[in-house]
Amino acid sequence: MKVHVISERGKLVGTFIPRQIQPSDPRTPICTPIARRGQKLQELEIENAESYYKERRLADLHKIVKKKLKLK
């Protein structure tokens, strides 16, 4: 599953998992994070990333993201 990651100066700012649901109405808004000036938006492939959110194990997810991107 793809995870969007925002980092700034080598530090993790936030993560976002886009929904995989196809909207039935074409007017349904699509959400995606946007990096500000000085930040980087990256995309990672992490297995079962959504389960970390459902099980409230965000610290574990952030450890994986930091390790893969070599962030502080």
pLDDT > 90: percent of the chain: 65
- Hey, CA dihedral for 15, 33, 71, 13, is it positive or negative? negative
pLDDT of amino acid 16: 93
Read off the pTM. Answer: 0.80
Burial degree of 32 (CB within 10 A; 0-12, 13-18, 19+): exposed
Q: Is the pLDDT of residue 60 over 90?
A: yes
Pull the structure tokens for residue 43: 């995309």
**What's the pLDDT tens digit per position in 23-58?**
677 777 778 899 999 999 999 999 988 899 889 999
